[in-house]
Amino acid sequence: MIRVGTGYDSHRFVEGAPLILGGVAIPHTHGLAGHSDADAVGHALIDALLGAAAMGDIGKLFPDTDPAYKGADSMELLADVVSRLREAGWAMAQCDITVIAERPKMAPHIDAIRERIAAVMACSMSSVSVKAKTNEGMGFIGRGEGLAVMAVATIIAA
Protein backbone atom coordinates (compact mmCIF):
# COMPACT_ATOMS: atom_id res chain seq x y z
CA MET A 1 0.00 0.00 0.00
CA ILE A 2 1.26 3.44 -0.98
CA ARG A 3 -0.20 6.78 0.10
CA VAL A 4 0.68 10.39 -0.64
CA GLY A 5 0.09 13.46 1.53
CA THR A 6 0.62 17.17 1.03
CA GLY A 7 1.57 19.84 3.52
CA TYR A 8 1.79 23.62 3.47
CA ASP A 9 3.00 26.17 5.99
CA SER A 10 3.83 29.84 6.08
CA HIS A 11 5.32 32.06 8.76
CA ARG A 12 5.91 35.78 9.09
CA PHE A 13 9.44 37.21 9.19
CA VAL A 14 10.36 39.14 12.32
CA GLU A 15 13.58 40.85 13.33
CA GLY A 16 15.62 39.35 16.11
CA ALA A 17 14.41 35.76 15.75
CA PRO A 18 16.52 32.85 14.51
CA LEU A 19 15.69 31.44 11.09
CA ILE A 20 15.33 27.67 11.49
CA LEU A 21 14.40 25.62 8.43
CA GLY A 22 14.50 21.84 8.44
CA GLY A 23 16.26 21.97 11.79
CA VAL A 24 19.12 24.06 10.39
CA ALA A 25 19.91 27.58 11.66
CA ILE A 26 20.28 29.80 8.60
CA PRO A 27 22.05 33.16 8.92
CA HIS A 28 19.64 35.95 7.93
CA THR A 29 18.55 39.43 9.00
CA HIS A 30 15.14 38.03 10.02
CA GLY A 31 13.74 34.87 11.55
CA LEU A 32 10.24 33.45 11.60
CA ALA A 33 7.54 34.23 14.17
CA GLY A 34 5.68 31.33 15.72
CA HIS A 35 4.66 29.53 18.89
CA SER A 36 7.24 26.79 18.31
CA ASP A 37 10.60 27.38 16.63
CA ALA A 38 8.54 28.36 13.53
CA ASP A 39 10.35 25.81 11.37
CA ALA A 40 8.04 25.98 8.36
CA VAL A 41 9.93 23.16 6.59
CA GLY A 42 9.40 20.86 9.55
CA HIS A 43 5.75 21.88 9.84
CA ALA A 44 4.92 21.35 6.15
CA LEU A 45 6.67 17.97 6.18
CA ILE A 46 4.82 16.88 9.33
CA ASP A 47 1.49 17.79 7.72
CA ALA A 48 2.40 15.88 4.54
CA LEU A 49 3.22 12.77 6.60
CA LEU A 50 0.11 13.05 8.76
CA GLY A 51 -2.01 13.73 5.69
CA ALA A 52 -0.71 10.63 3.93
CA ALA A 53 -1.62 8.51 6.97
CA ALA A 54 -4.93 10.38 7.51
CA MET A 55 -3.77 11.01 11.09
CA GLY A 56 -4.83 14.64 11.40
CA ASP A 57 -2.51 17.62 11.26
CA ILE A 58 0.18 19.38 13.23
CA GLY A 59 -2.29 21.72 14.95
CA LYS A 60 -4.31 18.77 16.19
CA LEU A 61 -1.31 16.84 17.54
CA PHE A 62 0.68 19.77 18.88
CA PRO A 63 -1.77 22.63 19.60
CA ASP A 64 -0.22 26.11 19.66
CA THR A 65 -2.44 26.86 22.67
CA ASP A 66 -0.44 24.28 24.64
CA PRO A 67 2.47 25.88 26.54
CA ALA A 68 4.33 22.56 26.20
CA TYR A 69 5.03 23.47 22.57
CA LYS A 70 6.23 27.02 23.24
CA GLY A 71 9.59 27.26 21.47
CA ALA A 72 9.35 23.56 20.60
CA ASP A 73 12.07 22.03 18.44
CA SER A 74 10.12 21.03 15.33
CA MET A 75 12.63 18.27 14.59
CA GLU A 76 11.55 16.65 17.89
CA LEU A 77 7.94 16.93 16.73
CA LEU A 78 8.94 15.37 13.40
CA ALA A 79 10.64 12.46 15.20
CA ASP A 80 7.46 12.02 17.26
CA VAL A 81 5.34 11.93 14.09
CA VAL A 82 7.67 9.37 12.50
CA SER A 83 7.24 7.09 15.52
CA ARG A 84 3.45 7.58 15.50
CA LEU A 85 3.42 6.59 11.83
CA ARG A 86 5.62 3.59 12.56
CA GLU A 87 3.21 2.46 15.30
CA ALA A 88 0.38 2.77 12.76
CA GLY A 89 2.35 0.59 10.31
CA TRP A 90 3.73 3.28 8.00
CA ALA A 91 7.21 4.26 6.84
CA MET A 92 8.15 7.21 4.64
CA ALA A 93 9.35 6.30 1.16
CA GLN A 94 10.29 9.81 0.10
CA CYS A 95 9.46 13.47 0.58
CA ASP A 96 9.80 16.49 -1.65
CA ILE A 97 9.85 19.93 -0.08
CA THR A 98 9.75 23.35 -1.77
CA VAL A 99 10.74 26.48 0.13
CA ILE A 100 9.35 29.69 -1.38
CA ALA A 101 11.27 32.67 -0.11
CA GLU A 102 12.55 35.88 -1.66
CA ARG A 103 15.50 35.86 0.77
CA PRO A 104 17.80 34.43 2.01
CA LYS A 105 19.40 32.42 -0.77
CA MET A 106 18.58 28.82 0.11
CA ALA A 107 20.97 26.98 -2.24
CA PRO A 108 23.93 26.91 0.21
CA HIS A 109 21.72 25.30 2.90
CA ILE A 110 19.76 22.71 0.91
CA ASP A 111 22.04 19.74 1.58
CA ALA A 112 22.38 20.55 5.29
CA ILE A 113 18.57 20.56 5.56
CA ARG A 114 18.29 17.26 3.66
CA GLU A 115 20.94 15.71 5.90
CA ARG A 116 19.25 16.91 9.10
CA ILE A 117 15.80 15.69 8.07
CA ALA A 118 17.20 12.31 6.98
CA ALA A 119 18.97 11.98 10.35
CA VAL A 120 15.80 12.85 12.30
CA MET A 121 13.70 10.45 10.21
CA ALA A 122 16.37 7.73 10.18
CA CYS A 123 16.13 7.50 6.41
CA SER A 124 18.47 7.96 3.49
CA MET A 125 19.31 11.49 2.35
CA SER A 126 18.38 10.33 -1.15
CA SER A 127 14.77 10.00 0.08
CA VAL A 128 14.65 13.67 1.08
CA SER A 129 14.37 16.30 -1.63
CA VAL A 130 14.52 20.00 -0.79
CA LYS A 131 14.11 22.67 -3.44
CA ALA A 132 13.81 26.43 -3.25
CA LYS A 133 12.48 29.25 -5.34
CA THR A 134 11.56 32.89 -5.05
CA ASN A 135 8.08 34.26 -5.68
CA GLU A 136 9.36 36.62 -8.41
CA GLY A 137 8.75 39.60 -6.14
CA MET A 138 5.00 39.00 -5.95
CA GLY A 139 2.70 38.92 -2.94
CA PHE A 140 3.61 38.58 0.74
CA ILE A 141 6.60 36.40 -0.08
CA GLY A 142 7.84 38.81 -2.71
CA ARG A 143 7.56 41.71 -0.27
CA GLY A 144 9.64 39.73 2.22
CA GLU A 145 6.84 39.60 4.82
CA GLY A 146 7.29 35.87 5.25
CA LEU A 147 7.98 32.61 3.52
CA ALA A 148 5.99 29.53 2.61
CA VAL A 149 6.81 25.86 2.28
CA MET A 150 5.06 23.08 0.37
CA ALA A 151 5.75 19.40 1.00
CA VAL A 152 4.69 16.08 -0.45
CA ALA A 153 5.40 12.78 1.28
CA THR A 154 4.88 9.20 0.16
CA ILE A 155 4.40 6.56 2.81
CA ILE A 156 4.40 2.80 2.43
CA ALA A 157 3.02 0.03 4.63
CA ALA A 158 6.03 -1.00 6.73
Which residues form the interface with Mg ion (CB under 5 A)? Answer: 9, 43
**Quick one: 32 or 52, whose CB is closer to Mg ion?**
32
Tell the smallest beta-carbon distance from residue 28 to Mg ion (Å). 17
Whether the link from the prior residue into 104 is cis, omega within 30° of 0, is yes
Q: Is residue 120 classed as helix, strand or coil in its secondary structure? A: helix
Helix axes 110-121, 74-87, angle to 10 degrees: 40
**Quick one: 57 or 91, whose CB is closer to Mg ion?**
57
Cα radius of gyration rounded to whole Å, the chain = 15
**Quick one: 10 or 156, whose CB is closer to Mg ion?**
10
Tell the smallest beta-carbon distance from residue 126 to Mg ion (Å). 26
**Quick one: 47 or 102, whose CB is closer to Mg ion?**
47
Comparing every residue's Cβ against Mg ion, the nearest one is 43
SS (H, E, C) 52-107: HHCCCCHHHHCCCCCHHHCCCCHHHHHHHHHHHHHHCCEEEEEEEEEEECCCCCCH
Tell the smallest beta-carbon distance from residue 62 to Mg ion (Å). 10
Tell the smallest beta-carbon distance from residue 157 to Mg ion (Å). 28
